[in-house]
Chains A and B, each alone.
Chain A
């Protein structure tokens, strides 16, 4: 019984990584109605920017906000330069561009910073929390930051006019224009926010998995799994989904002997498929009640 509790705690700690990424995934899905396959590489690239700033001697708490601002601007630019022109193109064109973006960011990062593994500092320190070896101070901090972000996003989308405009632009662009919402800029804002949240995710994940151009590839898959599990339309669901994926992964690895470390990723993917088959809107996703 104690083992179960410990494994759940460890699962939550890993899950914080996925939850953070899932939040970024849902953010952009809300804004543009697509899964952004380049989300992980965008987060990785942002993390390298923070790394470079600190290499130049800036302290962590200066590098951090600069990275967020640069990432936000980068996200807006990606939308304006790349995605706005192909806005009406079929979904396959978008997928191709996402993959191109992924490859470009990945190899550019490798070119500038090479592929060696680098350590990345944590603002919370890496000491075990309360002497327990299951959850470190950094992981606890990460859980806290993820939950804080979630609350901020909730307030933003629920109670601000610009949040309402963004939701309207995503849900029904034609009607949104008819009430005067500048739909194009709302999309750009969504990209900027998703890039900034991705940057936070990357900066928090890097101390755990170490910094290198491929650090996000499998994490993004877990993030997708969390987002789909919780519901792509629900930020809270995405965070919950991220934690659940972490817990399931840990429990399966411990209690089902055949599943070693190698089979953890297939479990995440099976989760995606199972959720899509049995509950397409996810655990907390809103099923659209609509009259026909």
Chain B
């Protein structure tokens, strides 16, 4: 396996106050890497910095291309789909229009139609609501829509910011089954941020622990799961 994303010395912040102090990690092609950390540790900020939503310094190399300094619109074209915290739904548009927007960088109309059907196969509830205004979907349905929209890019890498947020336990399980299937069958690499650490560690192969803007622990997911400190702080047993 080769390295798909390599992050070194990533520094970013808001209004001159740094939130990341040199974050370092990497992600294997076809792998799932998870970033764990308490509220405010800088997980969301890391994802935002990687896709150019906030200014950052340091190095982030994706498939040989340097992301830092690139425009978000161009980063998307490299095949990086970000499912943001808060889901980023186009609330006034229909479910189907949201999915079409996800494919905005692609050209082939019949491929796009097929992919919309594929998303509906993953999430049948969205098919029933295809003409509904997206802002009126339930929280869980909006999360499905956000993931569906990201899939419409045919991404190489998905950045997932708390995909389980606000979902019922059963829906979370369903969602993670789908993510695991996408990773296995379609070779989509994933960078996963999660509050639910045990869930994240079950999907991921590699884990990093972020504390106030720095990576403090890293290793294979199975090993991190056994780590005494992680267990006490994040897994709760």
Contact = CB atoms under 8 A, between A and B. Distances in A.
Interface of A: 161, 164-165, 167-168, 171-172, 174-183, 286, 288-291
B135 A288 contact: yes
Interface stretch (B7-15, B100-108, B181-189, B194-202): B100-108
A165 B149 CA distance: 14
A291 B136 contact: yes
B133 A289 contact: yes
Interface string B132-155: 010110010000000001000100
B93 A177 contact: no
B173 interface: no
A176 B101 contact: yes
B135 A165 contact: no
Q: For this complex, into which size category does the number of interface residues on chain B fall?
A: 20 to 34
A286 B91 CA distance: 12
B104 A165 contact: yes
Residue in A177, A179, A286, A288 whose Cβ sees the most chain B Cβ within 10 Å: A179
Nearest to B133: A289
Contact of B73 (A161, A168, A181): A181
B211 interface: no
B237 to A, nearest CB: 35
A180 B105 contact: yes
A175 B134 CA distance: 14
A164 B101 contact: yes
A245 B102 CA distance: 40
A179 B77 CA distance: 9
Interface stretch (B27-35, B81-89, B115-123, B213-221): B81-89
**Closest CB pairs A-B (n = 8):** A175-B88, A180-B76, A180-B105, A177-B72, A290-B135, A179-B101, A179-B104, A182-B73
B222 interface: no
21 contacts: A161-B100, A161-B104, A164-B93, A164-B100, A171-B91, A175-B89, A176-B101, A177-B71, A177-B72, A178-B82, A178-B88, A179-B101, A179-B104, A179-B105, A179-B149, A180-B104, A180-B105, A180-B153, A288-B91, A289-B135, A291-B139
B105 A174 contact: no
A179 B76 contact: yes
A286 to B, nearest CB: 7
Given A174-B88, A179-B101, A288-B135, A167 B93 contact: yes
A178 B76 contact: yes
Interface string B64-83: 00000001110011000110
Given A164-B97, A174-B53, A178-B82, A288 B92 contact: yes
Given A165-B101, A181-B101, 12 more contacts: A164-B100, A165-B104, A171-B91, A172-B90, A176-B90, A180-B77, A180-B105, A181-B104, A183-B73, A288-B135, A289-B135, A289-B136
Contact of B102 (A174, A179, A290): A179
A289 B51 CA distance: 30
Nearest to B100: A164
Contact of A168 (B71, B72, B82, B101): B101
A178 B104 contact: no
Contact of A179 (B71, B92, B139, B153): B153
